[in-house]
Amino acid sequence: MNSLIIGTAGHIDHGKTALIKALNGFEGDQNPNEKVRKITIDLSFSHLQNKNKNIAFIDVPGHENLVKTMISGAYAFDATLLVVASDDGIMPQTKEHLQILSILGVSRIVLCITKCDLTDTVRQKYVENEVRNFVKNFKNLTILKSFFISIKDLSGVSGLREFLFTIEPIKRVDSEILHYYIDRVFSLKGFGTIVTGSLISGILRKNEKIYNCDLDKSFIVKNLQIHDENVEIASSPNRVAINLDAKTSELEKGQIFSKKGFFRGFNECDCVFYGEISHKQNVIFCVGSRQIAATALILSENGNEKFITFKFEKEIFVKFNEHFVVLASSRVIGGGDILNPVTEPLKKSQKIALLCELKDKNFIKVFEILSSSHKHGFGLISSFQRFDMTHENALKIARNLKNAITDESSLCIYDKSAAVGDLKDFINFIVSKNDRAVISAQSLALKISWASPFLCDLTLNELIKDKILQKNGNLFIKFGADFDEITQSLENKIFEILSCGGIAPIAPYNIYDELEIDRTCGDNAMKKLTKAGKIVRITHNVFLTDQNLQKLIKKMRSIIASRGFVNVSVLKDELGISRKFLIAYLEYLDLFDDIKKDGNNRIFK
């Protein structure tokens, strides 16, 4: 069954809530304060259904002081019921709500001229034309159809109801990644904490864990409801109520649920903004159901269009192409689209060039700019947040880059000349100071945090062509070196290092790093030394030469003989080595038949 989200817009007391009640019988003003004052204060939610479609209604307040509440509902609209009273015509909040709808990209409007029992048809047509002419100020808004409504004559309501079922949902980017803004939090006796919100993308499943980005915490979905009915699965777009294993006090409006790893929080984002704003002006930034204080830093401006970095008082989790509205002194001063939701260490000129391409959605150029400015690679793992695209689509674009290397397994794009050049310099440095170095792609990637094994392997093979290296299996050594001679000398060198280490030996991986050898190659050498009885493995990463071990055992036995026992404290006083070695050596004593453990001590049987 298709789902559609339709919201209301319009001035206070023009009949938005009464219209919803006429459509589906739902009394929106549930708050006692709303009933007394006869105005809508908070968002209210209801629905209408036929055999093919569910319509979720979001009724918003029309009071000028509640514009933030209106914005927090409007971001999820597929279409809007613009309600204008025939006796008043266009009023201040009619205009402001239309401005908000335009900023948020909610283009489809169903015009409802209400209170038609109070006016004649001439006045009603005049108001309709007045609204249509005003809407022409917004290039992206379209009035689908007009309806003339009187609560005393419901024939107009019936026609409106039938028409609403013909509207199709907005075609959104098909994404399986969960994106859900909380717009209400409350508790019900016997159920616990419940949140409601609009599911923008992805799927929710009962009993699964979902991740709250703002809290860095996961919660279990105990139950799901769509239009007051329990469901096992909820897909977007939909209004969804979620029963969570959470404390009501820790959740709040504006927080985001997703899957862990898809959103990162930042204290700033770069946007294209349309409207009037001053450099360093303090404003309220509204995105989704979130409102947060921000400072506007203008990067460049061209008439009414500006590139702005908004700095926030705390981290915010937003994504590319999300619409936002900006308030100053509680009034709308403009809005636009988020272009760069992450912090980029770019020069101002680079950032402006990037934002121009992001605005035009020229992602080939975007990827070229980012790969050249991130010489050691920029990742595509966050492509949903950064570009509103799947990994697959991001890789399709990356494959068309000319001067870049794309590691598809690690989802990373490298600048071809810079990344490979720096890796070659590092490898050349290794083999120039160590003729017996043994390198693999994996060991090199462990040393160079920014380089993936794929990039390392590609670079190592290029150095074979340059006759800097030669290959033996998956290992690389200096060109002209003898691999068998290197491996033999390697065993001798490892034994020498362990011998010099005494009873506080260097860990194997540290030895391998010191000798510039691949870990697998080093492990093979250690196994040969162990099999030959030259060294003994005490624990996972503690190896002693047989000679050093025998001296140690003799020492520990003499301590037991003189004191009657040996333990960590005694052994530390005698040997002066770290606790990790002391514990390993005491546990090694447990292998002897004539020694037993007595509490924390070792004694003779």
Give the model's pLDDT for residue 63.
55
Give how many domains the chain has, as a whole number: 4
Give the model's pLDDT for residue 588.
93
Residue finishing a domain among 351, 378, 397 = 351
Digit-coded pLDDT (tens) for 447-469:
899 999 999 999 999 999 999 99
Residue finishing a domain among 317, 334, 351 = 351
Query: Residue 471 forms beta bridges with which residues?
Result: 476
Number of Cβ within 10 Å of residue 168's Cβ equals: 11
Domain-embedded: residue 236: yes
Dist CA 401 CA 538 (whole Å): 52
Q: What CATH number is attached to the domain comprising 589?
A: 1.10.10.10
Q: Running DSSP on this structure, what letter comes out for residue 249?
A: G
Domain-embedded: residue 234: yes
Q: Taking residues 407-424, report their average pLDDT.
A: 93
Give the model's pLDDT for residue 296.
97
Cα radius of gyration rounded to whole Å, the chain: 34
% of the chain residues with pLDDT over 90: 68
Domain-embedded: residue 65: yes
pLDDT at 29 over 60: no
Q: How far is CA 586 from the centre of its chain?
A: 48
Query: How far from 210 is each of 157, 202, 261, 266, CA to CA, in Å?
Result: 40, 12, 12, 21
DSSP one-letter string for 584-601: HHHHHHTTSTTEEEETTE
Q: What CATH number is attached to the domain comprising 139?
A: 3.40.50.300
Task: Judge if 191 and 49 occupy the same domain.
Answer: no
Question: Of the candidates 170, 169, 55, 80, which has an alpha carbon nearest to the alpha carbon of residue 131?
Answer: 80
Domain-embedded: residue 405: no
Long-range contacts: 570-575, Cβ < 8 Å, 24+? 575/503
Long-range contacts: 397-406, Cβ < 8 Å, 24+? 397/363, 397/364, 397/367, 398/367, 400/364, 401/364, 401/367, 401/368, 401/371, 403/368, 403/371, 403/372, 404/367, 404/368, 404/371, 405/455, 405/458
Task: Judge if 597 and 513 occupy the same domain.
Answer: yes
Domain-embedded: residue 76: yes
Local confidence band at 320 (pLDDT 50, 70, 90 cut-offs): very high
Domain-embedded: residue 68: yes
Question: Which residue is it, tokens 């959470």?
Answer: 246
Task: Judge if 203 and 276 occupy the same domain.
Answer: no
Task: Judge if 503 and 572 occupy the same domain.
Answer: yes
Question: Of the candidates 73, 103, 112, 85, which has an alpha carbon nearest to the alpha carbon of residue 11?
Answer: 85
Task: Judge if 582 and 518 occupy the same domain.
Answer: yes
Digit-coded pLDDT (tens) for 90-141:
999 899 999 999 999 999 999 999 999 899 999 999 999 999 999 999 999 9
Dist CA 48 CA 53 (whole Å): 8
Residue 170 and residue 178 in contact, taking contact as beta carbons nearer than 8 Å: no
Cis upstream peptide for 341 (omega within 30°) = no
Task: Judge if 244 and 291 occupy the same domain.
Answer: no
Q: Taking residues 77-85, report their average pLDDT.
A: 93
Residue 344 and residue 352 in contact, taking contact as beta carbons nearer than 8 Å: no
Residue 17 and residue 29 in contact, taking contact as beta carbons nearer than 8 Å: yes
Digit-coded pLDDT (tens) for 223-254:
999 888 899 999 888 889 999 999 999 999 99
Domain-embedded: residue 55: yes
Give the model's pLDDT for residue 174.
62
Four-point Cα dihedral 287, 331, 74, 116, nearest 10 = 180
Task: Judge if 233 and 278 occupy the same domain.
Answer: no
Domain that holds residue 495: 485-604
Q: What CATH number is attached to the domain comprising 209?
A: 2.40.30.10
Task: Judge if 198 and 107 occupy the same domain.
Answer: no
Dist CA 432 CA 443 (whole Å): 18
Question: Which residue is it, tokens 């636009």?
Answer: 336
Domain-embedded: residue 189: yes
Residue finishing a domain among 114, 144, 166 = 166
Task: Judge if 25 and 95 occupy the same domain.
Answer: yes
User: Could you tell me the pTM of the whole model?
Assistant: 0.80
Digit-coded pLDDT (tens) for 202-224:
999 999 999 999 999 999 999 99
Local confidence band at 47 (pLDDT 50, 70, 90 cut-offs): confident
Local confidence band at 330 (pLDDT 50, 70, 90 cut-offs): confident
Task: Judge if 280 and 323 occupy the same domain.
Answer: yes
Task: Judge if 190 and 282 occupy the same domain.
Answer: no
Task: Judge if 57 and 149 occupy the same domain.
Answer: yes
Which two structure tokens, joined as six digits, stand for 55? 């319509």
Q: In what order do the strands lie in the sheet with 378-379?
A: 378-379, 412-415, 404-407
